[in-house]
Structure 1
Amino acid sequence: MISTFLVKLALLVTVIDIAYSVAIYEQCAGEGYGNFPCDNGMTCFRRNKWFSSCQYSCPLNLGWECETYIAVTPGYAAQWAQCAGEGWGLARPCPAGYACYARSIYYSQCRPIGDCPSDWGCYALFHTTTPIPRPVTLPAYAKCNNVINAVCPTGTACFRNNALYAECRPACPPTWACETDVVGEKEQCGGEGYVGLTRCAEGLRCYARSQWYAQCAPSCPGADFIC
């Protein structure tokens, strides 16, 4: 059950999102930054995956990717947002250039096509209208690294024994390489029912998005996180 605090936080985020727009040359989007509308007459142009800014025209020949940042169509999930998961609701397609990758049967996320962690269900939806397939659940104690479209069963995670082998287990066994592993940027580090790695890499903190999901980031990933 969602707490009263989370409901109030969601309403506050909605109000901020409606009221706030970005002025010329200010950042309007970027990986881990969020997406904000530009002031009237301007467009959010992308320089790279970390930075987009509001301008009247795309700066040509200055190292910009010069593509209009994709607006999220109603019914679509946003970049880096949840797109599917058992008990979450109706699965949503991702924007162009993004695919819905499964971390578990309970959580899938819109990530750039090809940017799928090795222990996720790594299938890519190149056409955003393609139905989202359910990931295959591996048996406990099965090999889980580099297994396409597969996730570990509930109560286990893909823990690394060495550089070539990882296994679905309820915890990291003593002497395995996962004892010293850390969670990278934008990777899950917590949430109800999560049993994987929880220690973020140096310079990162674990930020909660909901009671089911938290991820490592150098700073607050966005207004929809509890920071």
Structure 2
Amino acid sequence: MASSLLVKLTVLAAIIGVAYSVGIYEQCAGEGYPTLPCDAGLTCFRRNKWFSSCQHSCPLNLGWECETYITLAPTYAAGWSQCGGDGWAGPRVCPAGYVCYARSVYYSQCRPVGDCPSDWACAALFQTTPIPTTTVPVPVTLSAYSKCNNVGYAVCPLGTACFRNNHLYSECRPSCPPTWACETDVVGLNEQCGGEGYVGLTRCAAGLRCYARSVWYAHCAASCPAPDWLCWQK
């Protein structure tokens, strides 16, 4: 019994990297960082060459380079075909309704959900359904010191952010002028509050703190979002 469990755990460790995907606001690409798929419904959007994160849409007016965002288009294995195993270089994602079940460290197969033979390592299974694709319009880069509120699919140029003067007007600027309303504005839950090259608002709303995901990205949360965040640095 113990040896059977050990085999299943070994298989799980061998294929866990195949099905891993990243959650919302987590890093999915960047120079020196592996390119990872996002959870279903999310897209990997580019902030700069060092950092991209999984989000529902491109963050507007924050200087993100979303016109070059990363679109991951996995190749799906057919039902009942091989989807993994030591040395396997073919497609690893199963179609909807199928799961990539491991027979051993050397062979996994796309089979209907729940249809795993009793002598297979079924403890190590991952349901891999297609990731929906979303068409996002290419954002326009505004000029520095131009209006940025109520402008659809537009971003401020790098080195600037959209700062609020009053309830009617916001502008792309390198910093918030002392007399503007942005002096008292705060950053909401899961919104960016820091990172290398970031020039936007940094004060989180009441009950939130600015937690760092990496050197290039931090956002406001009630507590440290995950163990692998650099929360001790914030």
**How many residues end up aligned between the 2 structures?**
155
Are residues 1:109 and 2:53 paired? yes
- Indicate the residue corresponding to 2:39 in structure 1: 95
**Aligned with residue 147 of structure 2, among 140, 143, 146:** 143
**2:169 pairs with 1:224:** no
TM-score normalised by structure 1 residue count: 0.53
1:45-64 correspondence runs (5 A): none
- SS state at 1:78 partner: coil
Letter in 2 for 1:223: P
Q: Is the 8 A contact 1:79 1:111 kept in 2?
A: yes
Unaligned runs of 5+ in 1: 1-17, 20-36, 38-71
Instruction: After superposing the two structures, state which structure 1 stretch, 198-207 or 148-157, moved more.
Output: 148-157
Q: Secondary structure at the match of 1:202?
A: coil
Distance 1:183 1:80 in 2: 15
Which residue in 1 is equivalent to 2:100?
none
Structure 2 counterpart of 1:81, from 6, 14, 26: 26
CA deviation after TM superposition for structure 1 residue 96, in Å = 2.6
Instruction: Tell me the distance in 2 between the aligned counterparts of 1:177 and 1:141.
Output: 16
SS at match of 1:159: strand
| In 2, Cα distance between equivalents of 1:105 and 1:139 | 21
8 Å Cα contact 2:61/2:148 also seen in 1: yes
Q: CA deviation at 1:77?
A: 4.0
Cα distance in 2 between the residues matched to 1:88 and 1:141: 34
Report the counterpart of residue 170 of structure 2 in structure 1: 166
The 1:219–1:139 alpha-carbon spacing in structure 2 relative to 1, beyond 3 Å, is same
> Higher RCO, 1 or 2 (CA under 8 Å, sep at least 6)?
2
Per the alignment, residue 161 of structure 2 pairs with 157
Between the aligned partners of 2:170 and 2:184, the Cα distance in structure 1 is 14
Shift of the 208–89 alpha-carbon distance from structure 1 to 2, 3 Å rule, reads closer
Percentage of identical aligned residues: 61
The CA RMSD measured in Å over matched residues stands at: 3.9
Query: Which has more radius of gyration?
Result: 2
List per-residue Cα deviations over 1:160-195 (Å, max 9, x = no partner): 111222111011112211010011111111111111
Q: Which one of the candidate residues 197, 203, 207 is aligned to 2:201?
A: 197
Give 1:117 shift.
Answer: 6.0
Shift of 1:128: 3.9
Q: Retained in 2: the 8 A contact 1:105–1:135? A: no
Secondary structure of 1:209 counterpart: strand
Q: How far did residue 217 of structure 1 move?
A: 0.7
Secondary structure of 1:178's counterpart equals helix
**Partner of 1:184 in structure 2?**
188
SS in 2 for 1:215: strand
Deviation per residue, 1:8-28 (Å, 9 max, x gap): xxxxxxxxxx99xxxxxxxxx
The Cα shift of 1:147 comes to 2.4
In structure 1, distance between residues paired with 2:153 and 2:49:
11
State the TM-score, normalized to the length of structure 2: 0.52
Q: Deviations over 1:71-105 (max 9, x none)?
A: x97585433323466x5778766433334556678
